[in-house]
């Protein structure tokens, strides 16, 4: 291979598009089993088909690709997972060669997000958009939510016996578990003026992006529109 082509292959810019595809396929794979509504399932298949075919609805390539995914959910999942693995193979060497640059870019992005955070909860909220496809929290049953709420009340009130079970909100519990997972990557620091500030834990993030799926998701993550407007 000519030296010019080798240098081009080793640039981070040459794999960003595939990193976005890996992130998108991860979103579909992580959401697929949780999707109950037919319209939601159709939306996920549309996202996957656009990525796999690189074509728009109505074109022959798009329709042919969609036809391969429709029908059996298990078969579709396997095809999507296999495609993601193939794309990981494509970027593997270039990803490794640029891992330090990827880490610094992610750190810079998140630390800018964290500027002005009022407290730890606010800091976690500011960066939580990026971790959604990494920390996929399973559905929580009503019974499990009730047990958690009852135990939480026991701890707060110091009452050793609960004669009535407390009602818990499964969605709120899932959100809490997700925020707890994200909080592991947010550090609290105290400046010379004793003011608290927040930043991403570089060591933990470096370990996380050893996995190119995680690195691809975090590197290509974009703030939701409403969060960009509020910034």
Kindly report, residue by residue over 114-148, the tens digit of the pLDDT: 999 999 999 999 999 999 889 888 889 999 999 98
Q: Are residues 187 and 76 in the same domain?
A: no
Q: Are residues 111 and 222 in the same domain?
A: yes
Q: Are residues 176 and 200 in the same domain?
A: yes
CA neighbours within 13 Å on the CB side: how many for 93?
6
Hey, what are 91's tokens?
A: 């970027």
**Which pLDDT does position 36 carry in this prediction?**
82
H or E element: which one contains 200? strand 196-200
Q: Are residues 119 and 197 in the same domain?
A: yes
Q: Are residues 74 and 107 in the same domain?
A: no
**Which pLDDT does position 229 carry in this prediction?**
61
Domain that holds residue 219: 100-230
Q: Are residues 141 and 189 in the same domain?
A: yes
Q: Are residues 41 and 129 in the same domain?
A: no
Hey, what are 188's tokens?
A: 């609290």
Residue 187, helix vs strand vs coil:
strand
Q: Are residues 193 and 119 in the same domain?
A: yes
Rg (CA), the chain: 21
Q: Are residues 61 and 104 in the same domain?
A: no
pLDDT less than 50: residues of the chain:
1-7
* Residue 162 phi, psi (nearest 5): -105, 115
> What does the alpha-carbon distance between residue 209 and residue 1 come to, in Å, rounded to a whole number?
29
Q: Are residues 144 and 226 in the same domain?
A: yes
- How many domains, the chain? 2
Mean pLDDT over each residue of the chain, to the nearest integer:
90
Judged by phi (left if over 0) then psi (alpha if -120 to 50, else beta), residue 174 lies in alpha
Q: Which of 171, 169, 150, 172 is nearest to 161 (CA)?
A: 150
Q: Are residues 78 and 161 in the same domain?
A: no
Q: What is the pTM of this model?
A: 0.85
Q: Are residues 193 and 88 in the same domain?
A: no
User: Which of the listed residues 92, 111, 131 is the one where a domain comes to its end?
Assistant: 92
């Amino acid at each position: 291979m000519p030296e010019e082509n080798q240098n081009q292959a080793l640039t981070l810019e040459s794999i960003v598009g595939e990193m976005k595809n890996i992130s998108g396929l991860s979103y579909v794979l992580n959401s697929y089993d949780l999707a109950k509504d037919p319209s939601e399932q159709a939306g996920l298949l549309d996202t996957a088909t656009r990525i796999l075919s690189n074509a728009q609805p109505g074109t022959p390539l798009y329709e042919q690709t969609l036809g391969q995914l429709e029908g059996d959910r298990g078969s579709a999942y396997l095809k999507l997972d296999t495609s993601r693995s193939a794309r990981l193979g494509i970027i593997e060497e270039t990803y490794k060669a640029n891992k330090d640059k990827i880490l610094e870019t992610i750190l810079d992005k998140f630390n800018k997000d964290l500027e002005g955070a009022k407290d730890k909860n606010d800091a976690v909220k500011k960066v939580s958009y990026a971790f959604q496809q990494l920390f996929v929290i399973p559905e929580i049953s009503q019974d499990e939510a009730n047990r958690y709420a009852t135990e939480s009340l026991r701890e707060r009130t110091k009452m050793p016996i609960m004669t009535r079970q407390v009602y818990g909100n499964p969605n709120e519990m899932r959100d809490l578990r997700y925020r707890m997972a994200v909080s592991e990557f947010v550090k609290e620091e105290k400046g010379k003026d004793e003011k608290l500030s927040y930043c991403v834990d570089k060591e933990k993030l470096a370990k996380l992006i050893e996995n190119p799926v995680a690195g691809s998701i975090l590197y290509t993550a974009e703030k939701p529109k409403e969060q960009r407007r509020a910034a």
